[in-house]
Amino acid sequence: MGGPSAEREVSLSTGRECARALRGEGFEVIEVDAGHDLATRLADAAPDVCFNALHGRWGEDGCVQGILEWLRIPYTHSGVLASALAMDKTRAKDVYRAHGLPVADSVLAPKADVMARHVMVPPYVVKPNSEGSSVGVYLVTDGANTPPRLADTMPDIVMVEAMVPGRELTVSVMGDGPDAPGALTVTDILTDGWYDYDAKYKPGGSRHVLPAELPKPIFDACMDMAGAAHAALGCRGVSRTDFRWDEDRGLAGLIVLETNTQPGMTPTSLTPEQAEHCGTSFGALCRWLVEDASCDR
């Protein structure tokens, strides 16, 4: 839990909640704030399983998964390759396209160029190519006269993506085997503005309607596409795939935004809500993840 990424505080919250739930399920739990001595601390602790509650870079991009594979410690969630693919938004889109999943047009561009001119006709979104939780997202609206002014913390190369209007939808997937629950349900995320970092993690930042009140073809397509994205990337354990849906365009207006291989497990998080709706308590979800853990993921 924790770690050095931009999502450290959310990861600490996830870690605390999961540790509490796992103790309630009868597990002995050691909470490790991941630092540069992580490999040594894990080797000393010699755990039966590592529950990965890290978010962001180093925790869900394949780095910590590689350490765990090297140490041969069974761990939860996705493995090295799936984690790295999903975290790199451009490469994830390449995988989606190869499997027939619809995505928004986007380009990678130098940060300096993005601030100097419109590299895409507005409206568009500027975001890091390899971060999660809506960290560093900039909206450039239709008719904007000037390009965005990006923070110094933004990477030198950023993604510029066509803005897709409409509703924000999400589907969690549990497992990839014949006995796994699979896609859980669709949540409609309602906010007063963009579904940014604060809307995701601050109490009252967003409202979740589940199951989402959608036409059946749209609901079913979200479920199918989430399962397909999980499988195409090679995800394990739990993943969550986000969508945008332009109601005016029907099924053609549904696009896959991204897949999160380490969904938040905080009091306001979407995946525990969906699991609870489907009859799996938070404690049972954490237990399922531990029992699903392995190496060579």
Q: Is 149 a catalytic site residue?
A: no
Q: Is 244 a catalytic site residue?
A: no
Spot the catalytic one: 2, 7, 138, 206. 7
Q: Is 7 a catalytic site residue?
A: yes
Q: Is 242 a catalytic site residue?
A: yes
Helix (H, G, I), strand (E, B), or coil: what is residue 281?
Answer: coil
Q: Is 201 a catalytic site residue?
A: yes
How far is it, in rounded angstroms, from Cα 188 to Cα 288? 25
Spot the catalytic one: 11, 83, 106, 133. 133
How far is it, in rounded angstroms, from Cα 284 to Cα 279? 9
Helix (H, G, I), strand (E, B), or coil: what is residue 120?
Answer: coil
How many CB atoms within 10 Å of residue 66? 14
Spot the catalytic one: 17, 161, 196, 242. 242
- Tell me the CA end-to-end span of the chain in Å, nearest whole number: 20
Calculate the alpha carbon distances from 19 to 32, 85, 162, 182 in Å: 10, 28, 39, 24
Q: Is 269 a catalytic site residue?
A: no
Q: Is 264 a catalytic site residue?
A: yes
For the chain, helix, strand, coil in percent to 5 are 35, 20, 45
CB 11 within 8 A of CB 2: yes
How far is it, in rounded angstroms, from Cα 283 to Cα 263? 16
Spot the catalytic one: 60, 61, 168, 258. 258
Q: Is 193 a catalytic site residue?
A: no
Spot the catalytic one: 57, 96, 264, 297. 264
How far is it, in rounded angstroms, from Cα 270 to Cα 79? 22
Spot the catalytic one: 167, 236, 240, 244. 240
Active site residues: 7, 133, 201, 240, 242, 258, 260, 264
